[in-house]
Structure 1
Amino acid sequence: MITLRPADLAREHGISTQAVRNYEQDGFIPPAERTHSGYRIYTEVHAAALRTYLAMVRAYGHSTAGRIMHAIHDDALDDALMTIDRGHSQLLQDRSTLDAVRKAIGHLTAETPDRPTDATPRTIGELAHLLGVTAATVRNWERAGILVPARDPATGHRVYQATDIRDAELAHLLRRGGYPLEHIATVVQQVRTAGGTDTLATSLEDWQRKLTLQGLAMLDAAALLSHYLSMRPTSAKDG
């Protein structure tokens, strides 16, 4: 059996030996054996676990990666696989959202800037209900410059016209795609101007690249997880 030091595991990934010890303490890699003098002894199983965990972080994020490794080390493989399944489901949903954004933009750019998509003005409550968000969210979009509704001169209440509704729908789609409000404000401003969709096209391309990279990261993580599971004791995998 090949034995490894914390420094050996750390060097492979460009991390500190303390990080390796922290990952062990947090249960992301199995507990190490100890020498009589108290030094940790790692093996290729630990190295495989660390590779798997860090790949899971790239694919699913720190929190989800931690849950996956904890489930594996608790011999709850089905729980780990269910967490992975949720990650793939979220990626599929994000791809669907991106496709919806593209379709929305195709519809918007096919129209003139002043052509209404819905002639019925809406209140803030009605707009929030239409999008399935809260009125507070709509007000946040306004503060970010994404929405610029007119006011009813008699009541002072916000009135959302067709173009406001268009901008709100677009903001909702991009927000679900993970873009910050400042970025969305820039995109919506571009859409408001005639032919100003260059920023939006760049955003969609960037979003597509991120989803592609995440999908590839999930493939890498799956391969490393499969290898790690094959190295663990049979009782741990079948428990």
Structure 2
Amino acid sequence: MESRNSHRLRTVDVARRAGCSVQQVRNLERDGVLPPAARTASGYRIYDESHVRSALAYRALAAGTGPVEGRNLVRAAHAHPGAGLFALLDAAHARLDKERRELELAKEAARAIALEPIGDAQPSDAMSISELADALGVRPSTLRHWDAEGLVRPARGAAREARRYSPDDVRDARIVHQLRLAGYRIPALSALMPDLRGARRRDDVTAGLAARDATIEARSKALLEGAAALWALLSERAHTSEVTLRPAAPPAPPPYARTA
């Protein structure tokens, strides 16, 4: 019976089935994501089902974890298809779980701030950095750090002019402060605050957090799909090895010679 891996595929065949370009297929082979392809006498690449599965696994894993880690996972499946691969997958799932738990804390913290209207605030209600630091119970250096990280950037007429926090800035600073207390880290806040900055209603804040939630869910699904593709690749490889290593059946004994 002919193995599925015996099917000869061209570069364009792999590209079409994996949903990528021909050049991407060559790049993935160069980076070790695809196993080295066999070559014809004239130098053309010959691919098989394992290359298609590897490309599909990479695409899903890259969507779930990012391209660098996606490459590492598929390369681990080729080189160390055991505890090493499972440890990388477990770590990827753990990071997503951590992001999901942090997001739940962020929802709770931002909900309380978003309920406070600021529509009646006047420009004269702006605060200096020391006033805002006192109001939040943080040091002025903390607000400067948030400014440098792009979390809360008050208007400044000149480089040496003192920071003045408008009511919008104050509200953003309170959101950042509450999310920090809830366990949100600076890199995660840097990704989240553009969705929340300038929001006036609870619905606006909720929508920003929901967008983050949808992103995490999509990445979780992609990681699950990628893990399934890796399992199919490993299962196919194990089956192929079993067929290759299985001893041949002994030859049938010769028929007895007929006697007169």
TM-score, shorter chain, exceeding 0.5: yes
Matched, 1:146 2:152: yes
CA distance in 2 between partners of 1:8 and 1:163 (Å)? 55
Q: Pick from 166, 173, 177 the counterpart of residue 169 of structure 1.
A: 177
Q: Percent identity?
A: 26
CA distance in 2 between partners of 1:205 and 1:14 (Å)? 29
Instruction: Give the partner amino acid of 1:73.
Output: H
- Verify the 8 A CA contact 2:56 2:229 in the aligned structure 1: yes
Which aligned segments of 4 or more residues in structure 1 are displaced greater than 3 angstroms?
A: 109-114, 118-122, 156-159, 162-165, 170-175, 233-236
Matched, 1:209 2:214: yes
1:215–1:110 distance in 2 versus 1, CA, 3 Å: same
1:77–1:177 distance in 2 versus 1, CA, 3 Å: farther
Q: Pick from 23, 42, 46 the counterpart of residue 41 of structure 1.
A: 46
Query: 1:190 aligns to what?
Result: 199
Q: Deviations over 1:44-91 (max 9, x none)?
A: 111111111111111111000111122222225322222221211111
Instruction: Give the partner amino acid of 1:138.
Output: W
Q: Deviations over 1:20-43 (max 9, x none)?
A: 111111100100111111111111
Alignment of 1:47-196 (within 5 A): 47-75=52-80, 77-109=82-114, 121-125=137-141, 127=142, 135=144, 137-140=145-148, 144=150, 146=152, 148=154, 166-170=174-178, 172=180, 173=184, 176=188, 179=191, 183-184=194-195, 187-190=196-199, 196=201
1:232–1:101 distance in 2 versus 1, CA, 3 Å: same
1:147–1:34 distance in 2 versus 1, CA, 3 Å: closer
Query: 1:9 aligns to what?
Result: 14
Q: 1:234 Cα deviation (Å)?
A: 7.3
* SS of match in other structure, 2:35: coil
* SS of match in other structure, 1:105: helix
CA distance in 2 between partners of 1:67 and 1:226 (Å)? 15
Query: 2:24 aligns to what?
Result: 19
Q: Pick from 194, 199, 204 the counterpart of residue 199 of structure 1.
A: 204
What stretches of structure 1 of length at least 5 have no aligned partner? 129-134, 150-155
TM-score scaled by length of structure 2: 0.68
Instruction: Give the partner amino acid of 1:107.
Output: A
Of structures 1 and 2, the larger Rg is shown by 2
* SS of match in other structure, 1:11: helix
CA distance in 2 between partners of 1:146 and 1:79 (Å)? 42
Instruction: Give the partner amino acid of 2:57.
Output: T
1:234–1:178 distance in 2 versus 1, CA, 3 Å: farther
Q: 1:3 Cα deviation (Å)?
A: 1.1
Query: 1:153 aligns to what?
Result: none
CA distance in 1 between partners of 2:136 and 2:12 (Å)? 66
RMSD (Å), alpha carbons: 3.5
Instruction: Give the partner amino acid of 1:97.
Output: E
Instruction: Give the partner amino acid of 1:123.
Output: R
